[in-house]
Structure formats: C-alpha cells, structure tokens
Amino acid sequence: MRGSGTVVMLVLMVAMIAALWPRSGGIERGPSEAIADNAAPVVSEPARSRPPGDAARATALPLCPPPVPREGGPLAGVIARCIGSDSDSDADLADVLGSEVTLINLWASWCGPCRTEMPVVDAYAAEPDAIPVIGIDVEDRPADAAALVTQLGVRYPNYIDGGSVLDALSAPPVLPLSFLLRPDGTIERVTDPTVFEMTDQIRTAVKDFTS
C-alpha cells in the first residue's frame, strides 16, 4: 500500500512538471526576429514625383514646340536643344520664347532642390490658366537630364543649354532659378521664393511680375 502511494506521488509530480514546462510557442525570440515583424512595407515614390494620369507620361519625353523664326528678342543667339532630340534640333531660344509671357525654369539633374521643385512647376503648367513654362537644363549631362524628366513625368518642354544661358541671364551660380519673360520683352528673376514649393507661389509670382 505504501509503495502504491509513492507511485501516485511520482505520477502527480511528473504531471505538474509537464504543466509548467515552457511550450515552443513561448520561446523568447532573438532581436533579428523581432525586427522582421516590425519592418515597414516597401512603398512607391510620392505621388507628386510621378503625377497621376496617362501612364505614358512616365515613359516618354515631352515634345517641344517648333521654334518660330524671329528677328532679335530676348535670349537671341542663345542656343538650346530639346531634351531627347538629336543634334539637328538645336534652336535659338528667342525663336522658342517669342514675346509671350513665359516662366523660364533653370535646373540640373544633380540639384536636389530642383528635383523637389520640378513636379510643382509641372503641376502649375498643367493648370488651364497657366502661362507657358520652359525648362532649361544647365551644366549637366544630357542623358542624366533626360532620365530625370522621364522619371518625374514632367510634361512641359525642356531644353539643354548650349553653354550660354547662364551668362545671357546674368544668373548667379545657384540652382534652381526661375525667370519671367514679361510682355515688354524683359526677363527678370523670381527671388521670392527662390524654390517653388506650391503652385500658389507660382501664380502669385506671375501676377506680381505681369500686373
């Protein structure tokens, strides 16, 4: 009888140990596993960097308007080339601009603020009441310039400077730079703000310089 009591006690002790033994699901994980559970999902580029709409915008370069030969005018003799075109498409900027009120935006692919500003300029250029917008890539590699225009889905015409735009505009050695061609043919730099962050800022600048 005494022996059977001992056996019962042993069975109860084994059952208690089994109940308290940790399960595999309760094992504390190492740091790498915890980090894996908290990893942020991969997201696409911000919407402003690739405007919604026609998907072809992100894969094709924007067309440039055909130049209209003129005598004299602002930036006469300053040669530029439509981005993505061959060497036969060099144009005199005076023929490109004409006398119409125009926003001229200077940029480069290596310029961080330019990459921020260009989608804003593009959004403004797409507005129904916007004035014409011309982008000019300066001090840059043509392939890099074309790649950025394609990446951002920019739709306004862009040209590559032939080497004399900065001197012709008496531009300071900073980028981006924006200028407005006024109705009287003069060109003046926009200094407030120096970098467009909202389309409202562009509309205000245009109104101030043309009123």
What is residue 41's predicted lDDT score, i.e. its pLDDT? 26
139 falls within a domain: yes
178 domain-assigned: yes
Q: Is residue 203 part of a domain?
A: yes
Backbone φ and ψ of 78, nearest 5°: -90, 120
pTM: 0.70
CATH classification at residue 167: 3.40.30.10
Place of tokens 């916007």: 130
User: Is 188 strand, coil or helix?
Assistant: strand
Give the whole-angstrom CA distance, residue 85 versus residue 188.
28
DSSP string covering 120-175: HHHHHHTSTTPPPEEEEE-SS-HHHHHHHHHHHT--S-EEEE-S-HHHHTT--S-S
Residue 25 belongs to a domain: no
Can you give the pLDDT of all 211 residues of the chain as single tens digits?
Answer: 455 555 556 555 655 554 444 443 332 333 332 222 222 222 223 333 333 334 334 446 777 888 888 877 788 999 999 996 655 578 999 998 888 899 999 999 999 999 999 999 999 999 999 999 999 999 999 999 999 999 999 999 999 999 999 999 999 999 999 999 987 889 999 999 999 999 999 999 999 988 7
Q: For residue 107, what are its two tokens?
A: 């940029």
Tokens of 110: 């290596």
Q: Is residue 170 part of a domain?
A: yes
SS3 31: helix
On whether residue 24 sits in a domain, the answer given is no
State the Cα–Cα distance between residues 71 and 53, nearest whole angstrom. Answer: 39
Whether 101 is covered by a domain: the verdict is: yes
Total count of domains within the chain: 1
Give the structural domain span for 82.
47-210
Please tell me the predicted confidence (pLDDT) of residue 121. 98
Q: Is residue 91 part of a domain?
A: yes
- Cβ(149)–Cβ(46) below 8 Å: no
